[in-house]
A and B are shown apart, each in its own frame.
Chain A
Amino acid sequence: MSKTLREDVGRTFPPITTKEGNMEKLTITRRTFLKAAAVTGAAAAVFSPAKSPLKGLTEARTPAVQGQVERIRSACRACGKTECGVWVTVKDGRAVKIEGDDDCLTSEGSICSKAFASFQALYHPDRLKYPLKRTRPKGEDPGWVRISWDEALDMVAKKLLEIKEKYGGESIFGFAGTGRQYGGAGRATILGALGSPNSHFAGQVCRIWPRGGAARFTNWRTSDNIGLVEGVKVYVQWGSATEISNYGEAARVTVDRRWKADKHIVVGPRLQNLGKEADIWLPLRPGTDTAMALAWIDVIIKDRLYDKDFVQKWTNGPFLYCREIEPTGFTWGVVGNYPIDIKTRLLKESDIIAGGSVKKFMLWDEITKSLKYFDADAGKWEVEPPKIEPALFGSFAVTLKDGRKVEAKPVFQLLADRAAEYTPEKAEKITWVSADKIKEAARVYASRPGNGGIAAMLGLEQSANCTQNLRSIYIMGGITGNCDTPGGFRGGTTPSPFRSPSASPGAPTMPVAQYKKTLGVEKFPLLPWDFGSDATAIWDAVHTGKPYPLKAGFAQTGNFMNQTNSAYAWEALKKLDFFFMIDLWEVPMAGMADILVPCLHYLEQKWIRTSQGPHYGVGIHPGVVKPQWECQNELVTNIKLAEKMGIPWGKPPDLSVYPTEEELLDYSVKPMGLTWKEAVAKFQKDGWWNIQYLMPYKRYEVGALRADKKPGFALPTMKFEILSTILESYHPGHELPFHSEPPESPYARPDLVKDYPLILITGRRIPVYFHSEHRQLPWCRENWPVPLLEIHPETAAKLGIKQGDWVWIESPRGRVRQQADLYVGIDPRVVSAEHLWWYPECPAPEHGVQYSDINRIVDRYSQDPIVGATCMRGFPVKVYKAVEGAPPGIITSADDPRLKAWLPQYPEGGA
């Protein structure tokens, strides 16, 4: 008997509830047929003409188009990542086809399901078309009325200035997300000019602060992305899945380079789409990444697999650290919004000699058996290796200037000691992964220096220990010789050969004194220095008025669901005196706006784009089709608003005080010696610019990482900081990585285990969606109609849950519903829910956000102690069957007729 596709092993992906496609499209419904049966033989009069079997061929679905056909090259923006190159075919002004651009060095022709659905967004009937004003109280359907642009922006200007006058600029906060990156800077300019240090920023939980912060403290801010495009020998996906997320790395490049690599290692709690092909899979307990990384480091150090040269010459590994001295240091202003004070127990010349330099860091030379220093002011060695052999291990007797004899250890020894607290055997108990597997993975990764960087992303970032998670990864990658090497940690494509179109050289910047008012600064003292305000603190301020009231919001990208507790945030939105939003859709948050104005879809937008990952590409959004209705480039909206508020934007003669879009675009490409029109024409003809020449490898050697052009890193010691002096100064005890239990883990809070026995992770990528986007696009929604909770079949069986059952996911904060998907690719003790779900088909203002949005149940105070990222992965829940079934009124299958109502509505006149 041959094997067949049994019901339990093969199913639609996802398990949507349409039946077999071939016989489900009846000419008429059963109901109308039964009417017919009663009048068998009668004419078709009872049936609607559209369904009559006697009707002839209906009109073609695609309107007849002929004449002008163009194929236009563009960057894609169906997600907020990568910048894939695409070709868009336009017929008589209507975009009709999109394809990958094989010549694009960034993406190599990659294009995803979301891009193919672009036209359904561009021409969606529900897109915002005109400026709107609310007429009903917040919390109800807004009752939008259409107003003119002038009216809208006059009102916004008036209200924001009023509120600033009465409560101070800090009482106005912004919203910043991803997706439309043309929307970020313009809003920031206005807020800065108003004097507000406060923004709710997606970057707090995604890349900019978790990865960027860890990198800021370790090597350089944007070092996170790895040079996958030039190939890696060992491909490590750690809390990342760029085959689906395309984050900094196009899917095609991801898959291709995996197969060109010698080995593929995946670290993550669930079996992933490319992870199914991994040579080694470490399904660790959520939130234990630092323990895992330190275990690898332990193996690497004990097996001597680190790159000794790099560690000695370029890290602060050789610098001596003494527990018995007081931390001292200096003011450091190389990066950040203002100078910070470094106070460290690293042994300095000033500790051993009266009047000695506080910037000369001491190390032990094995050759002369004496102390030598590195000058972190001049960036020079007292004696340069290899003339000296800086000790990495050991403990050395040192006499301080006051005569005390103390012991000092190299930082690398401290790292070894710390890692030894997490041997693979100890890490096994913490991470739930066998010691043997941990050792195997570490040895494969570090088999030789330069095997490749580690693609570590949101799995590590949305954790209450994200800074240490990422620091331990960067340290591991650094000491194994993957810092700014081919395939190693390379960061984004930088510098730009052009200026940002949203440059605002004439706008006043925020007074430095305002930074002190950044919300969250008490708990997170480093936030104002190089980050921003804490999202949790923002909502606390709205609700409680402490430390001072927040009265108004200005959202241009971003949403309230992406971090902290979204139920708490939703209630806060109702309390704002004024809320202004620029968007494409009436998303839930837009339903809380006082004034809502439309912006452009990426196919209408003109902009210049750089690869987000290290692919060296610069591309263009040429504005493939004309803007529709009264939609406007949001930068133009920003400038018009600034004008109404008396905030200057440009600085003549380079840029008018209130520049036009055209002027800004010309201004942006001027450094490349082109006008915008020329740049667009060149791009169309020659494709993406390759700026690899601007990004040499090992930039730390050639001074490309510091503004003063000195070799080394933009850090207080000028070295790759294994021991972070910045963290030592502001978060003592955090200068070296350590594992910290997720705040509500089964070990930290055993009291919660009984009622909340499962560990929840959230936010894994869905191929057809980009975070909260695309729920209203038919070709996306029909493929993934509802959110799925992955649950192991054994766990489900114990709970009486079957495939496709709707289940409640409940934490101490509340509960939401998602649909169960039985999945053996996850630990029976762990469940995986989707994030950022709302249902456009549900009524305003909530649009169903109350039903399945997983962030309603997170603990907003489970935060990383440095950057405040919300722990959204790795907290306890209970799961049980929802006897109520699916939330009321939602689309649950591809057969739902409401999907058809969302099909494109083309502007009249064909364009």
Chain B
Amino acid sequence: MTQIAIALDLNRCVGCLACVVACKMENNVQIGSYWNKVLRVGPNGKFPDVEMYFLPVLCQHCDSPECTKVCPTGASHKRADGIVLIDKDKCIGCRYCAMACPYGVRYFNEEAGVVEKCTLCAHLVDKGQRPTCVEECTGNCRYFGDLDDPTSEISRKLNEAGKNVHTVADVGNHPSVKYILRKATWRSG
């Protein structure tokens, strides 16, 4: 089994938004659509004992995606390596997948009439490179590789992080993106 995925170390993420705009540049994403967006969670607490983290949100490339279940044309599909993609030649732009997604990471491109989302930079991955957001993260907070390969960088980092690994809410779709967060309270799902 293969599941290519990204893991993020949120203690290293400083909310610089480089990944947001890097993704836009790499994929020529429309204004107002975010294949990768960054939220500020918090700060919470009572001043000055407060905590905060930034949460980059992208397609979670779920193990059992809600979107592929509902896509009538099969345009939304999961590759053998685990990346969930949209075949833009099949998509009819019904946006059912966007409704089915628990995380709001799919965007309708009005000009092209199709739905778009993070592709894990499959066009780069297929050439042996890493996704742009991983490459260009200023905090070096993103790890990339095959979750099912214990020797991969991502697996090693997640192992080191132990119980500090989290995911966003899981409704049976099993998001593949993992978040490492130490000390601060995880507030999603």
* A–B interface present (Cβ within 8 A): yes
Using a CB–CB cutoff of 8 Å, the interface residues on chain A facing chain B are: 2-6, 9-14, 18, 20-27, 50-51, 53, 55, 57-58, 61-62, 97-100, 109-117, 119, 243-244, 250-252, 255-256, 259, 271, 273-274, 276-277, 281, 283, 767-768, 778-780, 782-783, 792, 823-828, 894-895, 899-900, 903
Complex: A778 Cα to B28 Cα, angstroms: 12
Residue B107, interface by CB 8 Å: yes
By Cβ-Cβ distance, the 8 closest A-B pairs, closest first, are A13-B40, A22-B98, A25-B108, A251-B138, A116-B21, A825-B43, A113-B21, A255-B139
- Contact status of A9 and B44, CB under 8 A, knowing A27-B110, A113-B17, A903-B31: yes
How far apart are the CA atoms of A62 and B24 in the complex, in Å? 13
Q: With contacts A273-B16, A779-B21, A792-B47 known, is A4 near B188, CB below 8 A? A: yes
Q: Does B172 contact A (CB under 8 A)?
A: no
Check B98–A10 contact: CB distance below 8 A.
no
| Residue pair A10, B21 in contact (C-beta under 8 Å) | no
B138, A119: Cβ atoms under 8 Å?
no
19 contacts between A and B (CB under 8 A): A3-B188, A4-B188, A13-B54, A21-B32, A21-B105, A22-B108, A25-B33, A26-B110, A61-B112, A113-B21, A243-B138, A244-B16, A251-B18, A273-B54, A768-B17, A779-B21, A894-B31, A895-B32, A903-B31
**Quick one: which of A4, A61, A100, A111 contacts B189, CB cutoff 8 A?**
A4
Residues of chain A within 8 A (CB-CB) of B14 are 243-244, 251, 255, 273-274
- Distance between A680 CB and nearest chain B CB, rounded to angstroms: 25
Known pairs A251-B138, A255-B139, A768-B21 / 12 extra A-B pairs, C-beta < 8 Å: A21-B37, A111-B18, A111-B22, A113-B17, A113-B22, A117-B21, A244-B15, A251-B16, A782-B31, A783-B21, A825-B47, A827-B47
Q: What mask results when residues 95 to 129 of chain B are scored 1 for a CB within 8 Å of chain A, else 0? A: 10011010011111111110000000000000000
Q: Is the CB of A22 within 8 A of B16?
A: no
The answer to whether B53 and A23 touch across the interface, beta carbons within 8 angstroms, is no
Chain B residues, Cβ within 8 Å of A780: 21
Contact A62 B111 (CB under 8 A): no
Closest to A790 in B: B43
Q: Is the interface of A mostly helix, strand, loop or mixed?
A: loop
Chain A contacts for B112, CB-based, 8 A:
57-58, 61
B187–A6 CB distance below 8 A:
yes
- CB-CB under 8 A from B186, the residues of chain A are 3
Q: A636 to B105, alpha carbons, bound, how many Å?
A: 48
Interface contact A3-B189, CB-CB below 8 Å: yes
* Bound-state Cα–Cα, A900 to B30, Å: 9
Bound complex: CA A55 to CA B189 (Å): 41
List residues of chain B with CB within 8 A of the CB of A20. 104
Alpha-carbon separation in the docked complex, A384 to B41 (Å) = 59
**CB neighbours of B165 from chain A (8 A):** none
| Complex contact A767–B16 (CB within 8 A) | yes
Mark B13-57 against chain A: 1 for CB-CB distance below 8 A, else 0.
011111011101110100111100111111111111011111100
What are the interface flags for B70-100 relative to A under an 8 Å C-beta threshold, 1 for contact and 0 otherwise?
Answer: 0000000000000000000000010100110
Q: Within 8 Å of chain A (Cβ to Cβ): is B173? A: no
- Contact mask for chain B residues 151-174; partner A; CB cutoff 8 A; 1 contact, 0 none: 000000000000000000100000
Per the bound structure, the CA–CA distance linking A357 and B96 in Å amounts to 89
Most chain A beta-carbon neighbours within 10 Å: one of B46, B186, B188: B188
Q: Provide the bound-state CA to CA distance between A597 and B182, in Å.
A: 53
Do A50 and B111 touch (CB < 8 A)? yes
Contacts of A895 in B (CB 8 A): 32
CA distance A524 to B34 in the complex (A): 51
* In the complex, B140 has a CB within 8 A of chain A: yes
The residue that B48 contacts in the complex, of A27, A274, A281, with Cβ under 8 A, is A281
Residue of A nearest to B115 (CB): A22
Residue from the list B31, B38, B135, B140 in contact with A13, Cβ < 8 A: B38
Closest residue of chain B to A8 (Cβ to Cβ) is B44
Q: Using Cβ atoms and an 8 Å threshold, which residues of chain A touch B139?
A: 243, 251-252, 255-256
Q: Which residues on A sit within 8 Å (CB–CB) of B3?
A: none
CA distance A57 to B92 in the complex (A): 10
8 Å CB contact of B101 from A22, A97, A113: A22
For residue B55, which residue of chain A has the nearest CB?
A10
The residue on B at minimum CB distance from A96 is B25
Q: Which residues of A contact B140 (CB under 8 A)?
A: 252, 255-256
Bound: A826/B42 CA distance, A:
12
Instruction: Give the complex CA separation of A58 and B30 in angstroms.
Output: 14
List the A side residues contacting B25 at CB < 8 Å: 97-98, 116-117, 119, 779
For A58, list chain B residues within 8 Å (CB).
111-113
Bound-state CA distance A273–B15 (Å) is 7
Q: Which of A97, A117, A255, A780 has the most CB of B within 10 A?
A: A255
